[in-house]
Copies of this chain bind each other. A is one copy, B any other.
Amino acid sequence: MPNKKVGKQSLVFENKPYIIGRGTVVGQKEGQGPLASDFDIILKDDMFGQKSWEKAESKMLKEAMYKAISRAGISKEDIDVMLAGDLINQLMSSSFAARDMHIPFIGLYGACSTMTESLMVGSMLVDAGFVGSALVGASSHFCTAERQFRTPVEHGNQRPPSAQWTATAAGSAVVASPAILPRGMTGKPKMIRAESATIGKVIDAGVKDANQMGAAMVPSAVDTLLNHLEDLGRDIEYYDLVVTGDLGFIGKEMMIDLLAGAGLSKAAIKEHYNDCGTMLFSKDQDVHSGGSGCGCSASVFCGHLLKRMEQGKIKRLLLMSTGALLSTISPFQGESIPGITHAVSLEVE
């Protein structure tokens, strides 16, 4: 059998699948943030014309997917498989979106790491030729997450400064083999390709405070990044940008400290590292420690970062969505919050 495994937990894409389409839908608050101009659809009403927040989130994911497909210049019938996940119990957003899409579906759950998980597994399936194209994506909605994981939204619970704001956002991308590339696309100057990936381990540093999600996820992000760099024999400077999913303002500072503690140059970290949770909202938007949710890195990646890659402003990107694997009942049973971080390296051809 071939061997695409590199080091302990990484792998290289032999054929480097293309990212040929991307789509995003975000809520009102996200549309007032610094990245507003990068999103395809900004909702005027977070209900999106639906009767429940859950249905609204599912519609957001579906619309982001349709946008990704149309931007790729292909049709839904050209898609071989959809890989997606979200935070709602039993992946309600993704499952019902997949029902309406009516294409083969692989449901994934990695909490807020799901955007990278779907991109990683989708790229593997395309790279190996099991499918010609994969539609990947993830979503979250402030109101669906808040009422499922925390308190009734109407309760207007006061949030500590360390809490993060679940993004109302969906992002989707189309991963494809050259055979699927639409006519005229081949040879475009700025083709984005998946180059390698690192599958994350579940790491639990014992954090039990659900208002400290950044802190709970940082250890896994550090572990995945250090393993990725070691497995591939790279420095952080290799990447124009290494971006974590949603560590937020506090988690980002911890990440920088821990990476510096592991021997990386603090100047290099500051120049090459950022966090989607600190990019999606500005500090004056009253989101406390920043954005979170599957939709955070999904929308920042599919809206902002892929656009910068298309423009050639970012040539090498390491996307590292971060997930906190607590359940709605695990804290009540005395469990701490484990984290997971997957990584996918993308490059402009």
Binding site for B on A (CB under 8 A): 1-5, 9, 11, 15, 17, 51-52, 54-55, 80-81, 85, 88-92, 95-96, 98-99, 101-111, 117, 121, 124-132, 177-179, 199-204, 325-330, 333, 335, 338, 340
What would 26 A/B residue contacts be, using CB atoms closer than 8 Å?
A1-B179, A2-B15, A3-B132, A3-B179, A5-B129, A5-B130, A5-B131, A9-B81, A51-B333, A85-B109, A89-B90, A89-B329, A90-B326, A90-B328, A91-B109, A91-B327, A99-B202, A99-B203, A102-B202, A104-B200, A106-B108, A106-B110, A107-B110, A107-B117, A108-B108, A124-B130
A253 vs B61: C-alpha distance when bound (angstroms): 36
What is the minimal beta-carbon distance from A185 to any residue of chain B, in angstroms? 16
Q: Closest residue to A120 on the B side, CB-wise?
A: B106
Residues of B within 8 A of A4 (CB): 128-130
Measured CB to CB, the closest approach of chain B to A5, in angstroms, equals 6
A2 to B13 CA separation, bound complex (whole angstroms) = 12
Contact of A127 among B9, B128, B335, B338 (CB under 8 A): B128
**Partner of A90 from B96, B109, B117 at Cβ < 8 Å:** B109
Contact B9–A54 (Cβ < 8 Å)? no
Decide yes or no: A1 and B109 within 8 Å by CB, A54-B330, A80-B9, A98-B202 being known contacts: no
A1:B127 contact, CB within 8 angstroms: yes
Residues of the B chain whose Cβ atoms lie less than 8 Å from the Cβ of A99:
202-204, 325, 338
Beta-carbon contact of B128 and A128 below 8 Å: yes
CB-based contact B199/A81 at 8 Å: yes
A199 to chain B, nearest CB (A): 4
CA distance A340 to B213 in the complex (A): 33
Which residues does chain B contribute within 8 Å of A200, judged by CB atoms?
104-105
- Across the interface, which residues of B come within 8 angstroms of A96, CB to CB? 325, 330, 335, 338
Whole-angstrom CA separation of A99 from B329 in the bound complex: 17
- Name the B residues within 8 Å of A89 (CB-CB): 89-90, 327-329
**Chain B residues positioned under 8 Å from A128 (CB to CB):** 2, 4, 124, 127-128, 130
Most buried by B among A55, A126, A202: A202
A264 to chain B, nearest CB (A): 22
**Please, how many angstroms separate the alpha-carbon atoms of A279 and B3 in the complex?**
39
* Distance to closest chain B CB from A203 (angstroms): 7
